[in-house]
Structure 1
Amino acid sequence: MSARGTGSFIKRGWRNVREAGSQRLALTAVLLLAALLLARFSWSLPGIADAEAYLFDGRSYDTAEQVEQDQRILMVVYTDQTLMNLQKRSPLDRGLLAEALRNLDSMDAKAIGIDILFDQPQQEDAELIETLRAMQTPVSVAYAAMATNEDDIIFEQQQYLENFLGQLEGSNARPASIRLDNTSGVTRIWPSIEPGLPPVLGRTMLTDAGEGDRIMPGYTGAIRYRLPAVEGAPVITSLPIDLFADREMVPLMAEQAAGKYVLIGGDLLDFDRVDTTFSATGDEGLTQSTVPGLQVHAEMIAQMLDGRELPKPAPVILWLLAGFVVLAATLSALLEWRDWKVYPLLGAQFALFLGLPYLLQANGVDTYGFPAFGLVVGWIIAFTAVTSAARASGAVQRNFAQGALGKYLPREMAQEIIENPELLALHGEKKSIYVLFSDLEGFTKMSHAMEPEMVAKLLNRYLEMLSQVVLDHGGVIDKFVGDAVVAFWGAPIAKPGDGERAARAGYAIWQAGEAFRAEVAAMDTKLPKIGKTRVGLHYGEAVVGNFGGRSRIQYTALGDSMNTAARLEAANKALESSVMASREFADRTPLDWWRPMGRITLRGRAQPVNIMEPAPDFPEDDRKVLIQAMILADSGGAEAEILVRQLISRHPDDKALGNLLYRLQNLSGGNTYVLG
């Protein structure tokens, strides 16, 4: 598709949207704004934020670095077996902790961090305080406040904790925040830096160890979790605290702690465990469903040591991306492509929306807060808004077109042509059709005796009544010629029953004409008397289609069948009838109301025509007599006249029968009557 072709599609689509109306345009603008805001702030919206977080977890896991066991960090933990040995579960035994700290102090660790809140008095507290004050190795002791850890501590506990930590002033032990960010129940990002709180545990430990230049100050982005290179192997070494509390094990354990950041806390099944980025998406062989909070602190320390402060896209980038999504959806909707070309375009856009966050994550960019699902949903809303506006415009145009066509075609046929416009292609094709031609007797002469306004009023009313008859019977209005109505059946779409519908329409046209006469007579007695409506019906071939060129076309039928129907209509005057059909027409209908009315040669025609008159109220026995009379008339027998006289005696007011007798008495060669 060339750029010029694409541009023309877009212009046409935009024109359709504009034609939807001001209210629809306003609604579309609101939806586009909603799509923009959703794409930008999807991480803040209920429901959508959960989907964003799930996608973030998935791409974090898929792009996570696989590493060998980290030799820089050691976790010394209370295990469930430890508590069983101590026969004490809560709070954690502080005597054991004091003994382990004294031994660790001799093992040349870089720094020690304790992820245990000393918020309740225990009998070992004096021993523990003395041990902490005597430590040569810097120790970071867990601190929490009600304002930031309301689920972990109450007022009395905080008071005791602060008193406990106050007794350590002047020593190598100082408080450190153990607060984690558990937004939505999952620890994905670093905790925010809150006024009044000491630095987070890992930052305090690195500062005390002389590596304060690596603490990533101010960073609150995603935690870089890692996966083990060897399945089943831990990323961070974890050893039971029992081993470090046993003085005999000091020589063996010294190598494990030397030069490392040592974290002390619990690794218990029912205590201080958190969900992480890997919890819902990780392979159970590589990750656990939940991990101890201590391990999260260990991962943050490793992230600082590796200098992996993940950059975040600037807000302006997210705004530009949201705007691009809305623009892409809008242009896609305006293209109005109806073939396969649209699918690669849509597929490429969705691949970009979902693939871009993966690409950024794989290249070390923090995509927590970067929209992915929101881009897709925003695109769908924008695309739907524009396409619905275009459809609304199409519906307006469709209703207008259907209304316009509906003035000349039956509603069902108009609908089919709108859906299949090729049915009205600019060409003609030969078809066999049922033609109706009607005329109002004496209207031209009568119109000279009336005001033009009254003429227009009466003519519009008359044509409205007759047009409705044609449409109600499934016909196509070909044209109006003054007060004459020309219609046909069998094109552009031929349907079973067209002949019967055309015949009934012809008879109903005459009835509508009689109703019009009565209506005008009741309207104003001073108006000239309205003549009767005459109808001619014929079946034959015609060339049907759009004629007149592309600038001005008319859908019409051309051919001898049209002329024959017109002459049959005109013949009614001489035949003293109202509706007359050719035998070609009558024989193609299933109706039993036809009565034969002889053979005539129409004015300007060489070939005679057998004519049939619709007479639904004519007795069936008399109809049989009339049929017998016409058979006899073909052989030139006088018996035909006798039978017709009998019928006239029974129907003295039937002028058409009287006219038939006159014609039988004045036949020309070929047993036909030639109209003068």
Structure 2
Amino acid sequence: MPTRGLLRRGARLVRDTGRWRLVATGALLLLALFLAGWDWNRPLGSGAAREIPTADAERGLYDWRAATFAPRVAQDQRILMVVYDDQTLIATRKRSPLDRGLLAQALRNMDAMGAKSIGIDILFDQPQDEDGELLSVLRSMHTPVWLGYANLGDNQEQIIFEQQQFLDRFVRAARTAKVRPASIRLETDADNVARSWPVPTPGQPPLLTLAMQPSPSFRDYRGAIRFRLPVRQADGSEEPVIPSLQIDTLADPAMAPALAAMVRGRHVLIGGDIVDIDQFETPLSGRQARSTMIGLEVHATMLAQLLDGARLVAVPEGWRWLAALLVICAAGLTSLAELRWFALVPALGAQAGAIAGVPLWLQARGWDTKGLPAVGWVLGWVLAFTAIGVAARAVTSQQRRFAQAALGKYLPRDIAAQILAEPEKLALHGEKRQIFTLFTDLEGFTKLSHAIAPEMVAQLLNRYLDMLSDVVLAHGGTIDKFVGDAVVAFWGAPIARPDDGRNAALAAYAMWQAGEAFRRDLPPGVPPIGRTRVGLHHGEAIVGNFGGEGRIQYTALGDSMNTASRLEAANKALETTVLVSRDAMLLSGLDWWRPMGRVRLRGRSTPVDLFEPAPEFPVEDRAALAEILAAFDGEDAVAQSAARERLKAMVNHHPDDAAIANLLYRYEYVGEGGSYGLG
């Protein structure tokens, strides 16, 4: 649908929607815009319970994107992790606090090896016998050393007041120009997954990562942590991205010289790699051998990101809301357009591709998509599409009911113009008129409607009725009503014209042709549809407005209508498509008719002579058929027998003509005289 048409339809929707429905639709669109534009990282209030409802789904989708597009790198030669592991605890027979004598010896050796900086992810919050030795080593260090620090304000679960007091005393005692405190705080989201750089707490020392490698560009960075995956080797193995050594080996004087190359010039991070302690889930959980990552490695990952200058750029808030607005507008316009399936499918595919593809494209190019509402885009689109569609269908239904109640029929343009000029020609009471009445029926449509989707039924029925309505109006008829797939029309009211008979007969044949064209042009997947059957009769009917002054329900009632309806129904039994009574045939002025015998219509005692338009049937055969049927009407048995043989010969001459074969069967069944009853 062109843009101008969409705008007009949208304007009509706003104009015709009731106040409360308009308010409800607007509220749903605002909710859709909110879902599609809100940064799911930002809580709606205090506490995890105030999160946007889609937050869990957004987290899962982000983790998949981050893991899928995580860069694969060789082992990082700039950073070294030195760890206390479970074997170390067994060897030292100390679990908490960690053995500080071992740490003192390792620090002394690393200072001699030429480490670039040392960060200690351990809290010295409890006294230990080796404290004196450790403080002595710290005060003699030439390498910059950063002691892990935390306070009650941001780490209440792991430190109590007495521990805080001891930690503060220890840090003061160890502090020199080379030894200073640094915050080892890490942040997790509501699902306990570490995804972002922590927000600094007022009064805290600098973050350990920034302390070890100062960087003005990362000082205020609060975006996503860029996690990395190891490069797969030719044999399928993978080396850890960040190398690590047990602290025991670095503390051993005999081993230290051999390990000097691994320490020299590197940033060294010291901490624990102990089962069930300081373990974090990350977006890479499930992509690596271990489902969790130790806090020390999270710090190391952040340090590597800083060293690489990989400050991930978040999508600006204005862009995010603009994208949300585009998603909602696309959904609304698609719903408003009411596209047919062959146009709707590509439109939906393009929009689905954009909604799913943009976050992936941004993630692959190094953007921080953590706050991008990818799930929100989908939900917002669905909500907006549904809200506009429901409102549009409600308004359309209301407009259709209004049109049916206010008009009751369609009129040809010239008749409508005359009525506007002379309103008295539209009788607001019943009056007897001689009219041509036409009924149609689409064979098998009721059964078909149960086999296909309701939307397709509505689409097909509207298209079919439009085609038949166009035929009626093009031939100057008045559309009385639609009854399911049936069309009822008449000629001769509200204004009678000399050529009404001819136009009605031409319209009857043209409506059958339109039905055949409709059958040939069905969408793929729709089962075959039967023929359009038509009945036409001329007779007296009461025509006028039967609904009163306030409801223009202009229609016709009477025997003429009933006869036309039964003529249409007789097509099925007689294997014809268009049946016309003798009265209508004589007044048509056309010469294309062939007689189809005399029958008693259902519910009638008086026989009716039937005729069928047959412009393609040979003229000489039409004349011969008239002679044959005239012979059957007489009382001469010899003439009737000869007529029957001539009819058999005609059937053999037109073997594909089911109507002629049916005519022969009827005369053989009835015998001499009488008429065929349809029951």
- Could you state the TM-score of these two structures normalised by the residue count of structure 2? 0.63
Residue 28 of structure 2 is aligned to residue 31 of structure 1: yes
| 3-state SS, counterpart of residue 151 of structure 2 | coil
Q: Does 1:429 align with 2:508?
A: yes
Q: Secondary structure at 1:262's aligned position in 2?
A: strand
Q: How far is 1:146 from its partner?
A: 2.0
State the 1:234 CA deviation. Answer: 0.6
Contact 1:143/1:177 (<8 A) preserved: yes
Contact 1:38 1:378 in 2 (8 A): yes
CA distance in 2, matches of 1:146, 1:40: 36
Aligned match of 2:113? 107
Q: How does 1:463-542 map to 2 (within 5 A)?
A: 479=556, 487-488=561-562, 491=565, 494=568, 541=580
Matched residues in 2 for 1:133 and 1:490: separation? 113
Which residue identity lines up with residue 110 of structure 1 in the other structure? K
**Alpha-carbon distance, 1:370 to partner:** 1.9
Partner residue in 1 for 2:95: 89
C-alpha spacing 1:540/1:142, structure 2 compared with 1 (3 Å): closer
Q: Distance in 1 between matches of 2:96 and 2:394?
A: 68
Q: Distance in 1 between matches of 2:297 and 2:273?
A: 9
After TM superposition, the structure 1 = structure 2 runs for residues 558-577 of structure 1, keeping only pairs within 5 Å, are none
**Contact 1:52 1:372 survives alignment (8 Å):** yes
Shift of residue 174, structure 1, vs aligned partner: 1.3
Alignment of 1:288 with 2:327, yes or no, is: no
Give, in angstroms, the shift of residue 435 of structure 1.
8.2
| Secondary structure of the corresponding residue to residue 74 of structure 1 | strand
Counterparts of 2:109 and 2:388 in 1: how far apart (Å)? 72
| Distance verdict in 2 for CA 1:103–1:463, change over 3 Å | closer
Q: Which amino acid aligns with 1:365?
A: W
CA contact (8 A) 2:152 2:164 kept: yes
Amino acid of the structure 1 residue aligned with 2:267: Y
Q: Which letter does structure 2 place at the counterpart of 1:479?
A: A
Distance 1:385 1:191 in 2: 40
Alignment match, 1:356: 358
How far, CA to CA, are the matches of 2:537 and 2:161 in structure 1?
98
The answer to whether the aligner puts 1:165 opposite 2:171 as a matched pair is: yes
The 1:12/1:256 distance shift into structure 2, 3 A limit, reads same
Conservation of the 8 A alpha-carbon contact between 2:183 and 2:208: yes
Question: What SS is found at the alignment partner of 2:60?
Answer: helix
Q: Which moved more, 1:394-403 or 1:177-186?
A: 394-403
In the aligned structure 2, how far is the partner of 1:119 from the partner of 1:243? 25
User: Alpha-carbon deviations, 1:497-537, whole Å to 9, x = none?
Assistant: 999xxxxxxxxxxxxxxxxxxxxxxxxxxxxxxxxxxxxxx
Change (3 A) 1:251 1:493: farther
Cross-structure match for 1:589: 602
Q: Distance in 2 between matches of 1:398 and 1:10?
A: 20
Q: Report the secondary structure of 1:340's partner residue.
A: helix
| Distance change (3 Å), C-alpha of 1:319 and 1:258 | same
Give the counterpart letter for 1:541 in structure 2. Answer: V
| Cα distance between partner residues in 1 of 2:542 and 2:405 | 26
Q: Deviations over 1:540-579 (max 9, x none)?
A: 7259xxxxxxxxxxxxx966699xxxxxxxxxxxxxxxxx
Would the alpha carbon gap of residues 234 and 353 (structure 1) be closer, same or farther in structure 2, given more than 3 Å must change? same
- For residues 366 and 214 of structure 1, what CA distance do their matches in structure 2 show? 19
Gaps of 5+ in 1: 207-211, 441-455, 468-476, 500-538, 544-556, 563-582, 600-633, 635-676
Amino acid at match of 1:128: L
Q: How far is the alpha carbon of 1:331 from its aligned partner?
A: 1.8
Verify the 8 A CA contact 2:119 2:269 in the aligned structure 1: yes
Deviation at 1:80, TM superposition (A): 1.4
Alpha-carbon shift at residue 241 of structure 1 (Å):
0.7
- Aligned to 2:134, which of 122, 128, 132? 128
Residue from 278, 284, 301 that aligns with 1:299: 301
Secondary structure, aligned partner of 2:122: coil
Give percent identity, aligned residues only.
43
Q: Is the 8 A contact 2:508 2:535 kept in 1?
A: no
Q: Which residue of 2 aligns with 1:63?
A: 69
Residue matched to 2:342: 340
Whole-angstrom CA distance in 2 between matches of 1:463 and 1:113: 93
Match of 1:195 in 2: 202
Check 1:132–1:65 CA distance in 2 against 1; reply closer, same or farther (3 A cut): same
Indicate how the Cα distance of structure 1 residues 304 and 343 shifts in structure 2: closer, same or farther if over 3 A, else same: same
TM-superposed CA distance for 1:86, in Å, is 2.1
Deviation of 1:438 (Å): 6.3
Aligned equivalents of 2:63, 2:216: Cα separation in 1: 26
SS in structure 2 opposite 1:175?
strand
Deviations 1:68-92 (A, max 9, x none): 1111100000111111222332332
How much has 1:352 moved relative to structure 2? 1.6
Alignment partners' CA distance in 1, 2:349 and 2:264 = 55
> Offset of 1:290 from its aligned partner?
0.7
Give me the TM-score of the superposition, normalised by structure 1: 0.63
Q: Aligned to 2:16, which of 11, 16, 19?
A: 19
Deviation at 1:251, TM superposition (A): 0.7
Counterpart contact for 1:398–1:418, Cα < 8 Å: no
Q: Deviations over 1:311-367 (max 9, x none)?
A: 222221112111222222222222221131222222222222222222222222222
* Counterpart for residue 232 of structure 1: 238
* Whole-Å separation in 2 of the counterparts to 1:420 and 1:460: 28
Q: Structure 1's 12 and 39: CA in aligned 2 closer, same or farther, altered over 3 A?
A: same
Point out where structure 2 has 5 or more consecutive residues left out of the alignment.
43-50, 411-438, 447-457, 473-506, 510-533, 589-596, 609-634, 636-679
Q: Which moved more, 1:397-406 or 1:68-77?
A: 397-406
Bigger Cα Rg: 1
1:376-395 equivalent positions in 2, closer than 5 A: 376-395=378-397
